[in-house]
Chains A and B, each alone.
Chain A
Amino acid sequence: MNIIILGCGRVGSTFARLMYRDGHSVTIIDLQSEAFRRLGVKYKGARIVGNGIDEDVLKRAGIEHADVFIAVTQGDNRNIMASQIAKNVFDVPKVIARIYDPIRADRYRQLGLTTLCTTTIASGLLRDFVSTDQWGIAKDYSQEYLALNV
């Protein structure tokens, strides 16, 4: 599969290494070239320095032929905008945005984006472990979170 990853932080770089190791064609984008250090020496996929909400940069990354687009920069809004470009302008079949804010993650999911809210996933797992002494399965806790309205 052709996979584009926006944001070469811990999650982006780790995911890039995993998918590259599995034999996929991976392109990773970050604003700063220093971020690519996190990729290590085994990753031989493409690296692009640029702004992920700029259509020219996304085209350079090959978004017109991408099967998967993952937005995992530090900025929720940047991830939201880039994902909407990937989905609505370039018709990428599988688009996922990491969104820290649980409310935004829920609302954009209702709008049709696939969102990953690591805030509610981590806090849900922690709550399960603290109260039962067992790790729950890593599921998405955002609906529960919203229902609890904490």
Chain B
Amino acid sequence: MYIIIVGGGNVGYYLAKTLVAARHEVLVLEKDRLRYRTISEELGEVVMQGDGCQADQQLEAGFGRADAVVATTGSDDDNLVVCQMAKMEFNVPRTISRVNDPRNEKLFHRLGIDATVSSTKIIYNLIEQEVGGGEVIPLAALSRGNIEIVEIEISKRSPVLGREIRTLEMPGEALIISIIRNDHAILPSGDTSFAMGDSVIALVNADQEPELREVFAESA
């Protein structure tokens, strides 16, 4: 695959090294001349100096044949425009953006970016996983972020412990797709009941996540 990384900061630099090691064809576009010199000493010819938002430089960098464009700069506005221009000008099949402000993930999906990554949100979710009982933890987003796959841990304080799925007042657009019990995935039916230590995997419309949260919420 040919992957173009826009932004040669730490994220872009290590991503390039990892992709090169995995034998992908990689190009890093870095705007700043000093930073460009520093990383090209290490990465060699796969680094190009240029502005990834500018159509002529996108052309020169080969956006037209890229399988994916990844925007990794520290500015969300730059990342957004890199990905939108890549789509508009070169119809790049997959655009991936780093998102610094996690609230921008939803916006970016709405504005046509294929995938977003927010390290803030990932770290937050890890913390939630450590401390939270009955927390609804997002695992992945489908359909441009409208549908989420979430995981819910069932602890001994869970209000649904021992109850059958059919007795839950689930939100209209939510579906329990699996229960992980003792490392085995169960495909549940209406009369499956919840046990301590279960991981419940559900699909939910992002708008109805708060209601799903209500169903599994543990009282403090």
Contacts and interface: CB of A to CB of B under 8 A. Distances in A.
Interface in B72-87: 75-78, 80-81, 84-85
A53 interface: yes
Interface string B47-77: 0000001111000000000000000000111
Contacts of B107: 84-85, 88-89
A88 B80 contact: no
Q: Is the interface of B mostly helix, strand, loop or mixed?
A: helix
B45 to A, nearest CB: 27
Contacts of B55: 103-104, 107
B89 interface: yes
A81 B54 contact: no
Interface residues of A, number: 20
Interface string B121-155: 00000000000000000000000000000000000
A101 B78 contact: no
Contacts, number: 49
A119 to B, nearest CB: 13
B111 A54 contact: no
Contacts of A98: none
Contacts of A137: none
A129 to B, nearest CB: 28
Contact of A107 (B88, B103, B111): B88
Interface residues of B, number: 19
Contacts of A76: 53, 81
Contacts of A78: 77
Given A84-B111, A103-B54, A107-B89, A77 B103 contact: no
A103 B89 CA distance: 10
Contacts of A89: 107, 110
B42 interface: no
Contacts of B80: 77, 80-81, 84
21 contacts: A54-B101, A55-B103, A75-B77, A77-B53, A77-B78, A80-B80, A80-B84, A81-B81, A82-B77, A84-B107, A85-B107, A88-B110, A89-B107, A101-B53, A103-B55, A103-B56, A104-B54, A104-B81, A107-B85, A110-B88, A111-B88
Interface of B: 53-56, 75-78, 80-81, 84-85, 88-89, 101, 103, 107, 110-111
Interface of A: 53-55, 75-78, 80-82, 84-85, 88-89, 101, 103-104, 107, 110-111
